[in-house]
Each structure stands twice: as structure tokens, then as C-alpha cells.
Amino acid sequence: MNMTNLLIIAGMALVTYIPRMLPLVFMDVEKIPAWFQAILRNVPYAALGALIFPGVLTIHANIWYGIISSITAIIVAYIGTNLIVVVMSSIVVLMLLSVVL
């Protein structure tokens, strides 16, 4: 591994670390208003949805594969099962759809 690669890796690590470190250093948890804390608690779910939704629509040439798999995941998650069970149930439904169709 040459020096250029090492500098690129170190630079990427620094750029990734800074946004995670700054809030811990400059913000006090007790000073954040309750309404803003409620918004921040929902950010991971919104970001995850924004990342997953395009993949649902493009998982197969037939859009119904993604829609049916997503509905399955939503139903299984609503029941309250473990995340692994939710993912595996979607995969099983996709496998069954590919066999049937």
C-alpha cells in the first residue's frame, strides 16, 4: 500500500469522524429542547426509509416484487417480531414469488 492510499484513508476517516465528534463536544444534552430531541429520535427512521424506498422499487423488473415484499415486511414488523425475522420473511416471500411467477 503506497502513501497516497494511506492519506486517502486517513482523510476519509477524519471527514467521517468530525461530524460525529462535534455534537458531543459542543452540545450539552440537557440544553436541547424536548421538541428538538423528539425530532432527532425520528431522523434514523426517516433516513432509513429514504434509503430503502428506491431499492424497493428497483429490486426486480416487475415492481410488484418490491411492493409485495415491503408489505410483508411491514406486516411482520407490525406484529412485533425481531428484525431478522422481518428481513427473512421478506426474502422468503421474494423467493416464493420468483418460483411461482
Query: Could you report the per-residue pLDDT of 42-67, keeping only the tens digit for each?
Result: 777 778 778 888 888 888 888 888 89
How far is Cα 88 from Cα 43, in angstroms, rounded to an integer?
A: 25
Residue at 16: amino acid letter:
T
To the question of pTM greater than 0.75 for the whole model, the response is no
Question: How does DSSP classify residue 68?
Answer: H
| Residue 62 neighbours by CB under 8 Å, 6+ apart | 101
Query: Could you report the per-residue pLDDT of 68-84, keeping only the tens digit for each?
Result: 999 999 999 899 888 88
- C-alpha distances out from residue 10 to 2, 3, 4, 25, Å: 13, 10, 10, 21
How far is Cα 48 from Cα 28, in angstroms, rounded to an integer?
A: 26
How far is Cα 2 from Cα 17, in angstroms, rounded to an integer?
A: 23
